[in-house]
Structure 1
């Protein structure tokens, strides 16, 4: 195919300040962006959070219309002047000519209606002459096309009945319902584990290869663009800092900022120096020294007796003083449930849990209180774990108040010290969570976990939604805290490269069980279990040719 599918010239987007609703002043989120895209080609737009990349994606369908934002420049999609198009033309364009795949399928899908009905509705909006039967058949065909098994039956399911990867496939099916010429995918794989991420990226590549659909892929993950696009546009603070073929940009970056991004990417094949910890011994810890935390035969079931689901099944592990145990596995493997049992936010259905040699799996709440101060959890989503109505300083101070023994001014001083310790301005004590970035909110979550003076932190996906530089900063912070405070960590993640960068030992979970465990370098360099081998083979790589080779191997498997 020839011609230009997308032409963006001098795009600028300004969001109004609170005292200037007309948008004449305010935040310049995008400033002078230009690029073009031919049919069947793919462009990756990458950058940190706040770089303006999602703002550019939204402008391609003029989703800023009616928001108060001031949009300047020219955006043409398949010959349509998007910014000047009347509402009727814009409605036809959205979904019919160009379709968007959003980051969070749970917020993009209606929880009350069946997946198939929602896809069929999109088809009927853009094909008003289509019958309900035709639209329904189209929805089933679209679900089948994106790899949903037993599509006719699953079309009757609601979003909560799908896994995260299946919901993302359903969004892709919805986007494909009207056979658009352009797909705009905004962080479509951010919350997915590596195998599902690889499946979605392979599917996008297959679709554009077969149909000539153009793709604009917005992401902060450079490994994602390496295997999925032809060209890369790197953004920072609303501006383009580098633009070119993916092999050149990732292989020989010209801009210092691009080099910084690449340097911050954790590598699954990187061996790092590790602090000295007691050498592992099989079985059990060194003689006379009980492990800090020990789980033996842990099991957790959910649901009524006749229809029980086993989330964790006969798991045994140890965490020794001063070490980091990585816990990896796909979504649904049971790793978060296990983490919550380790801090006794969930009670085990069976098995034994010991802390410093003392059995704590069956202790009541009063007996658990002193142990809770020493075993804390850092949650995946700080936005939901922080009270939006309380200031961040008060959230950090709450555990100090619960512990007692300090007066009000001393508690405030200590909370400010903790904010400063995790790299935040102590004068932000009175700010609320919505005033902070994702990485800053995660630092607040870490400060709150540190407040009681713990010896063990269980970190559940603490960097999964962060861009690579912020991710690296949070990982470095956890490493500093471990060294300076003598902390032990259980680091739960689906990102194998991140786990290798921070862990001394690793345990691999599948379907509620640990299938492989050992020193992290040994497991990564010589995995014994086929499941571990499959996980490592699905990890994105920064070499476009190697990524293409892996895609061919996955297709042949």
Structure 2
């Protein structure tokens, strides 16, 4: 039996960065002499660190290379034609057969038009013979196929009404609506939480069978690629350094770079060591008691009627000096709202947030300035959080000047000291952030927080936009800073592998509530809540899984925070649900000295967390 003809053949593909104009312009190769074949229904994984050329390669495969980049050689053959040399009109006709999905779902669609309408317009642009009604039905069927809940009604909603996971699936529909022969998926799971990412990975596998589509799956995470790919191609410095079947590459990598990537992957269960719990007899640096935060939103289809979104509900916990405290959960669970409460960007509707024993809502004047100095926030996006036309030194000087420092020499010395501590060379002091990598930009963000010598850093998805190599480096910097300055960290993240490596205790949030608080070891080896087990079952890993996805993994979206169900809010997705769950909401119940879980399967007569914490004075 003859082997099927490849869907795509790439030979000696080279893409250069062109610096300057004319024949004398300098050129630097970003990817060089890359060759491979993509077979029908195959999922080809491409991995590599930031800067290895993954995104340049993925865009070249769909002929989407624009200045200052230029094709310097090679071919990408589809249907016996090199698509890199096709006239624009012929290439436009092929767009219905070639699809691309990127890693930024929220910025990919027009926010002023309903999602379904945009998908229909894309389909009719590449297939004008299809009438609008047929196009709408095809789009709705695909939205349902990728498990968008209530697909027919969601068809008419705007991008702002979709969660991050739903937006990513909607973009996959946008790519698949014309039944392409192959799909390039460039880091599509990186911005997603683990449960949604797991659904997308399963979806990729289903697409190859259901729609007869071959997939090029690009990622910086080898465990993610290993979940879905048949074959893996490893990029380093723009060149292919290894290609093997997935199982063979994981078990017996041949190249030193591949072994280095595997060595940087955090272990969840094989390495049983974890950060030890900190002493809880000290006064907490943070305390939050019964904090609630809601928002008013306009009801769809009305002019003045409003609904209430209950973003954070009755949250209670302490954070102790020198601790690394993690907060995890799916998108929309309330993590970022909780971050805004802890950093006093917003105030709770009820309850209290205490910093060093003081109610942050009552701080003003000098006390508030001192709070801002001691409790610093580092956000997720390393690109939009820095002013592009301000030198790095001036960015780092600004907090010191805001807090009253006037000695120019002392300011410069302090900034250079902090730059050294976070791994930024002094030569960047007068440079703009435009030329920095994502990892370097995030170092600038950390330095901007550290320049005021804070006591606490609140890290809101600070590492989620970075590849595993950069995460590995920054986590080492965080360890060094903590040892040097006695810092306390609050890590708000959906990356459980990172949390496993660095956090002493972890709070698990679901639909605005904390459903479990546990020490690192207890959470990963003996979680008390079914939702915690579901999160752990979805983590991409090269290890043998402790929790099986088929037993734990969630489908669909959480209930709406506008219309919360009675009883336990997790009941509609819980594999262990019983009658009591649907009528009675469980409180956080003690499982050990400092471990709690809000589940009726935990001792129903145990003490609750609220009974064990002292009420604020």
Verify same fold: TM over 0.5.
yes
Q: In structure 1, what is the equivalent of residue 41 of structure 2?
A: 40
Partner of 1:53: 54
Q: Alpha-carbon deviations, 1:520-554, whole Å to 9, x = none? A: 111110011010010000111226x9799847985
Which residue is 2:90 aligned to?
89
**1:303 shift after superposition:** 2.0
- 5+ residue gaps in structure 1? 280-284
Q: Which residue matches 2:9?
A: 7
Correspondence 1:200-349 to 2 at 5 A: 200-271=200-271, 273=273, 278-279=278-279, 285-286=280-281, 289-303=282-296, 306-349=306-349
User: How do 1:66-145 residues align onto structure 2 when only pairs under 5 Å count?
Assistant: 69-94=70-95, 96-145=96-145
Higher share in helix: 1
Task: Identify the residue that residue 537 of structure 1 maps to in structure 2.
Answer: 537
| Deviation, structure 1 residue 212 | 2.5
399-408 or 201-210: bigger deviation: 399-408
Q: Residue 400 of structure 1: CA displacement? A: 1.0
Task: Show CA shifts across 1:136-157 (max 9, x none).
Answer: 2222222122111222221111
Alpha-carbon distance, 1:415 to partner: 0.8
2:274 touches 2:500 (CA, 8 Å); kept in 1?
no
Report the alpha carbon displacement of residue 367 of structure 1 after superposing the two structures with TM: 2.8
Paired position in structure 1 for 2:300: none
Cα deviation, 1:52-90, whole Å, max 9, x if unaligned, reads 111111111111156651331011123331112122221
* 1:400-424, Cα deviation, whole Å (9 max, x unpaired): 1122244112211211111111001
Q: 1:235 aligns to what SS in structure 2?
A: strand
Distance in 1 (CA, whole Å) between partners of 2:416 and 2:483 is 21
Asked if structure 1 preserves the Cα contact closer than 8 Å seen for 2:9 and 2:78, the reply is: yes
| Distance in 2 of aligned mates of 1:453 and 1:341 | 21
Kindly indicate whether the alpha-carbon contact (under 8 Å) linking 2:325 and 2:490 is maintained by their aligned counterparts in 1.
yes
Which string of whole-angstrom CA distances, capped at 9 and with x for unpartnered residues, describes residues 424-483 of structure 1?
Answer: 101211112222111111111111111111111111111101111100011111111111
Q: Distance in 2 between matches of 1:241 and 1:68?
A: 23
The answer to whether the aligner puts 1:64 opposite 2:41 as a matched pair is no
Counterpart in 2 of 1:282? none
SS in 1 for 2:228: coil
Task: Give, in whole Å, the separation in 1 of the partners of 2:423 and 2:376.
Answer: 20
Separation in 2 of the partners of 1:24 and 1:517?
Answer: 58
Query: Structure 1 residues 5, 315: closer, same or farther in 2, change over 3 A?
Result: same
Classify the secondary structure of the residue corresponding to 2:429. Answer: helix
Aligned to 1:374: 374
The answer to whether structure 1 residue 188 and structure 2 residue 185 are counterparts is no
Find the residue that maps to 1:188 and give its secondary structure.
coil
C-alpha distance in structure 2 between counterparts of 1:142 and 1:358, whole Å: 53
Within a 5 Å distance, the mapping from 1:484-523 to structure 2 comes to: 484-523=484-523
- Given that 2:534 and 2:552 are in contact with CA atoms closer than 8 Å, whether structure 1 keeps it comes out as no
Deviation at 1:555, TM superposition (A): 9.8
Measured in 2, the distance between the counterparts of 1:79 and 1:119 equals 29
Could you state the TM-score of these two structures normalised by the residue count of structure 2?
0.85
Whole-Å Cα distance in 2 between the matches of residues 127 and 490 of structure 1? 50
In 1, Cα distance between equivalents of 2:259 and 2:354: 46
Instruction: Quickly say closer, same or farther: Cα 1:262–1:514, change in 2 above 3 A.
Output: same
The more displaced of 472-481 and 80-89 is 80-89
Partner of 1:429: 429
1:278–1:87 CA distance, 2 compared to 1 (3 A): closer
User: Which structure 2 residues correspond to residues 354-433 of structure 1 after superposition, within 5 A?
Assistant: 354-433=354-433
Cα shift at 1:23: 8.4
In 2 relative to 1, CA 548–186 (structure 1 residues): closer, same or farther, beyond 3 Å? Answer: farther
CA contact (8 A) 1:268 1:539 kept: no
For the 8 Å contact 1:21–1:68, the answer to whether it is kept is: no
C-alpha displacement of 1:376: 0.7
Which of the pair has the greater relative contact order for Cα pairs under 8 Å at 6+ separation?
A: 1
SS at match of 1:396: helix
Hey, what's the Cα distance between the residues in 2 that align with 1:546 and 1:295? 34
Deviates most, 479-488 or 64-73 = 64-73
Give 1:263 deviation, angstroms: 1.0
Per-residue CA deviations over 1:495-535 (Å, capped at 9, x if unaligned) read 11100101011111111111001111111100110100100
Q: With the length of structure 1 as denominator, give the TM-score of the two structures.
A: 0.94
Give the stretch that moved more between structures: 189-198 or 51-60.
Answer: 51-60
CA RMSD of superposed structures (Å): 2.2
CA distance in 2, matches of 1:549, 1:299: 34
2:452 corresponds to 1:441 = no
SS class of match (1:174): helix
Provide the C-alpha distance between the structure 2 equivalents of 1:265 and 1:469, rounded to a whole number of angstroms. Answer: 9
Residue 270 of structure 1: CA displacement? 5.0
Where structure 2 has 5 or more consecutive residues not aligned to the other structure, the ranges are 298-304, 556-574, 576-617
Maintained 8 Å contact 1:5/1:79: no
Looking at structure 2, the residues matched to 22 and 106 of structure 1 have their Cα atoms a distance apart, in angstroms, of 40
Cα 1:437/1:28, change in 2 over 3 Å: same
